[in-house]
């Protein structure tokens, strides 16, 4: 069964450093998303991406965040200057655009620890 | 503002039936989804309701009442592997939006 993959599984970085989280969505999916989940809290939407551009973003997704689809398979989230409060699990998700089908497939997540 | 309310914890016995409720207050509403998340794992899609009524998928069913801004997830014939967190999530940003707003989750513990 096709699945979303993410690398790395765990990333430790120092405050102020840049990190890039990588995702490979399911190949025939057209919509891509990033969510984050701070330990013990709910999943929060960050951004959605379609047709090579951001379609929606939340208040969390400020100027320090950016997303890119550098080639036909990868989808990346960059955090320019990490803060302690960016420590969280980051999930990538993808979905196909099919009428009535809004299922989002989540990857296993990258645990980001900012020290 | 937007809010989704669901119980923080539920405990049930193996083989039993459990219902996890979700009430929502959102500026728009375009569907209610349910996701399962095991500790340390990724959310996994369980069901989606856009219209009122009951959707059944195996041991799991989901119900929606848009007039009451309420839905529930029903798990039957509980198994130990059903122990996980269950999140309701709404699409509230427009018919063309895929953004999900999640509730805080209900931690289900299934006991022998």
Q: What chain A residue is nearest to B107 in terms of C-alpha separation? A: A40
Q: Is A115 helix (H, G, I), strand (E, B) or coil?
A: coil
Across chain B, mean pLDDT equals: 92
Q: What chain A residue is nearest to B94 in terms of C-alpha separation? A: A56
pLDDT at A70: 86
Q: Report the Cα A35 to chain-centroid distance in Å.
A: 6
The bridge status of strand A110-114 relative to strand A10-13 is parallel
Report the 10 Å Cβ neighbour count for A40: 7
Token duo for residue A78: 């960059």
Question: Looking at residue A98, what DSSP letter applies?
Answer: B
pLDDT at B6: 97
- Asked if A58 contacts A45 with a C-beta cutoff of 8 angstroms, the reply is yes
pLDDT at residue A30 tops 60: yes
Across B52-59, average pLDDT: 94
Question: Looking at residue A99, what DSSP letter applies?
Answer: T
pLDDT at residue A99 tops 50: no
Across chain A, mean pLDDT equals: 91
| Confidence grade of residue B95 (pLDDT, cut at 50, 70, 90) | low
Percentage, residues of chain A above pLDDT 90: 73
pLDDT at B1: 57
Cβ-count burial A45-68 (b if 16+ within 10 Å, e if not): bbbbbbeeeebbbbeebeeebebe
State the best of A30, A43, A61 to mutate against chain B, taking most chain B CBs within 10 Å.
Answer: A43
Across B54-80, average pLDDT: 96
Total residues found in chain B within this entry: 112
**With contacts defined as CB-CB under 8 Å, which chain B residues touch A43?**
35, 37, 43, 87, 89, 100, 102
pLDDT at residue A98 tops 50: no
Question: How far apart are alpha carbons B7 and B14 in whole angstroms?
Answer: 19
- Asked if B45 contacts A104 with a C-beta cutoff of 8 angstroms, the reply is yes
Sign of CA dihedral A43, A102, B98, A18: positive
> Using one digit for the tens of pLDDT, what is the confidence trace for B20-52?
999 999 888 888 999 999 988 899 999 999 899
Token duo for residue B51: 């219209």
Across A33-52, average pLDDT: 92
Task: Please report the number of interchain residue pairs, chain A to chain B, with beta-carbon separation below 8 angstroms.
Answer: 57
> Using one digit for the tens of pLDDT, what is the confidence trace for A46-67?
999 988 899 889 999 999 999 9
Q: Given an 8 Å threshold on Cβ–Cβ distance, is B45 in contact with A104?
A: yes
pLDDT at B63: 97
Question: How far apart are alpha carbons B83 and B12 in whole angstroms?
Answer: 9
């Amino acid at each position: 069964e096709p699945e979303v993959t993410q690398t790395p599984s765990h990333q430790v970085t120092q405050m102020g450093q840049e990190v890039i989280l990588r995702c490979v969505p399911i190949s025939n999916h057209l919509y891509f998303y990033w969510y984050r989940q701070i330990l013990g809290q709910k999943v929060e939407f960050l951004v959605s991406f379609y047709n090579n551009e951001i379609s929606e973003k939340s208040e969390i997704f400020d100027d320090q965040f950016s997303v890119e689809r550098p080639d036909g398979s990868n989808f990346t989230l960059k955090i320019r200057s990490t803060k302690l409060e960016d420590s969280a699990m980051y999930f990538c998700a993808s979905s196909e655009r099919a009428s009535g089908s809004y299922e989002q497939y989540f990857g296993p997540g990258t645990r980001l620890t900012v020290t | 503002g937007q809010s989704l309310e669901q119980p923080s914890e539920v405990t049930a016995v193996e083989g039993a039936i459990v219902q996890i409720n979700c009430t929502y207050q959102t500026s728009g509403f375009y569907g209610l989804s349910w996701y399962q998340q095991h500790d340390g794992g990724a959310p996994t899609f369980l069901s989606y309701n856009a219209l009122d009524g009951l959707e059944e998928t195996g041991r799991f069913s989901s119900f929606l009442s848009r007039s009451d801004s309420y839905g529930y997830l029903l798990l039957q014939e509980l198994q130990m592997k059903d122990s996980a967190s269950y999140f309701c999530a709404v699409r509230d940003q427009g018919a063309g939006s895929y953004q999900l707003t999640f509730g805080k989750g209900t931690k289900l513990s299934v006991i022998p």
